[in-house]
Amino acid sequence: MLCAHFPVFTFCLGSAPNHLILQRMIDLNQTVLIIGTTPIAVGDLVLACAALALVLLAIMATLSISAARERKSRAVDMADRETEFDLRFAELTGRLQSLAEGTATRDAHMAKSLDQRLDQISLRMGQNLHDTTKRTTDSLRQLHERLAVIDAAQKNITDLSSQVVGLQDILANKQARGAFGQGRMEAIVADALPRNAYTFQHTLSNKTRPDCIVRLPNNDAVLVIDAKFPLEAFKAFREAGDEASMRAAVQQVRTDITQHINDISKKYLIPGETQDTAIMFVPSESIYADLYESFEEMVQKAYRARILIVSPNMLMLAIQTMQAIFKDAQMREQAGLIKIEVAKMMEDVHRLHGRVVDLQRNFGRASQDIEKILVSSEKVTKRGSKIEQLEFEAPAEDGEASDDSTAEGADTSEEQPRLAAGE
């Protein structure tokens, strides 16, 4: 056995487990503590301990009651919270259900909208594909048409190239070149002048044959037109690469132009038979421009020889001037007939004037008759208005006739005394 000795108690622990033996070893009146001058005995200490234990028990009971109340309050709060939680959970469940239903509705609406939009997109895509296919087909068709046009143009270019080669061959031959210039001149003359005003390859009295003569009105002398085409000299002038070749080409041009001027002057200027001036036709605008730009002295020489050098445009202008001369001559020839027709037209005008005067006189009479009819109509209208308003005319004092024929020139607005009923 294990024993512990204290001033007040002795505790002994037996050998057997869980056995506690308390033995009282001292008396209750024994002093165990002195505080100041006051001795404290064992009994006092025991009472104090007992009181303290009671206080502790009371405190513990109070705490237990408070804890019980707090647990009860907590339980009530917990129940309230559980109830509130259940309500909120139910509300949340309702909201979630409403949200789920709204979400399902929105999903259905969105799915419907998506289906509609997809259908529209599919329709548009189909339409766009159809339009694109149609445009592509049209573009390919137009492309084939343009390719066909290009092929035709290529063929025309090939034909034109062959024609240009043929034209070069023609221009290389002097006789063919002369025929070309004469053909252009004949086309210009024949398009503008009357058939009896010109003749091609006419034989003059000296047995020469100019390319064309024009018979001017009121003049027995004819105007001579002859075509010349000095191509080789001007071609060499344009292609000259050095000064020596340029001088040689210039000399050749002057020689050829001088020869043409002399030929026309000697052969086709016959006093009394031809005009004092002849026309030398150059069927190329570029040669004509080079001639006037680089060989002005040759132009002056031709002018002094009474020969006018013209290009196709200048010949057309001269032919149009001749056409105006022919028209003026025709107008002078027809002047007597025009005078007779004007006299007849004046007789018709005088006759028309007389008929207009008669018509005006008849209209004046008809106008007077219409004015009389209007006077009678206004009187009838006024009398009807008086009868409708129960108003009557006073007896006439001036012996006014009742016949409408005597009312001509009467004033329709004269004052007529009336007596209203009830006055």
What is the per-residue pLDDT for 23? 44
pLDDT digits (tens, 9 = 90+) for 277-317: 898 888 888 888 888 888 888 888 888 888 888 888 888 88
Residue 163 placed within a domain: yes
- The closest alpha carbon to 330, from 222, 197, 200, belongs to 197
Partnered with residue 198 across adjacent β-strands are 214
Decide: helix, strand or coil at residue 120.
Answer: helix
Of 172, 187, 215, the residue at which a domain comes to its end is 172
Residue 20 placed within a domain: yes
Q: Are both 208 and 316 inside the same structural domain? A: yes
Q: Chain-wide mean pLDDT for the chain? A: 76
Q: Is the pTM of this model over 0.85?
A: no
Residue 417 placed within a domain: no
- Whole-angstrom distance, CA of residue 338 vs CA of residue 325: 19
52 HSE (CA, 13 A, CB side): 6
Q: Stretch 35-57: mean pLDDT, rounded?
A: 79
CA separation (Å) from 394 to 135, 154, 242, 387, 420?
94, 107, 126, 13, 11
Which helix (H) or strand (E) element contains residue 198?
Answer: strand 198-200
* 186 pLDDT above the threshold of 60: yes
| Helices within 269-407 (DSSP H only) | 285-294, 296-304, 312-333, 335-388
Q: For the beta carbon of residue 269, count every other beta carbon within 10 angstroms.
A: 17
232 token code pair: 């080789």
Residue 343 placed within a domain: no
Which pLDDT band holds residue 118 (cuts at 50, 70, 90)? confident
Backbone angles phi, psi at 370, to 5 degrees: -65, -35
pLDDT digits (tens, 9 = 90+) for 378-415: 888 887 777 777 544 444 444 444 444 444 444 444 44
Q: Are both 304 and 376 inside the same structural domain? A: no
Query: What is the DSSP secondary structure assignment for residue 274, as one 8-state letter?
Result: B
CA separation (Å) from 362 to 159, 348, 373?
79, 21, 17
Query: What is the DSSP secondary structure assignment for residue 194, as one 8-state letter?
Result: -
Query: What is the DSSP secondary structure assignment for residue 396, as one 8-state letter?
Result: P
Partnered with residue 392 across adjacent β-strands are 419
Task: State the residue range of the domain holding 102.
Answer: 43-172
Residue 421 placed within a domain: no
- Total domains, the chain: 4
* 104 pLDDT above the threshold of 50: yes
- The closest alpha carbon to 9, from 52, 34, 45, 50, belongs to 45
Q: Are both 329 and 315 inside the same structural domain? A: yes
Q: Are both 157 and 248 inside the same structural domain? A: no
* 264 pLDDT above the threshold of 70: yes
Of 302, 333, 364, the residue at which a domain comes to its end is 333
Residue 413 placed within a domain: no
Q: Are both 288 and 232 inside the same structural domain? A: yes
- The closest alpha carbon to 307, from 215, 229, 206, 225, belongs to 225
Residue 87 placed within a domain: yes
Q: Stretch 339-361: mean pLDDT, rounded?
A: 82
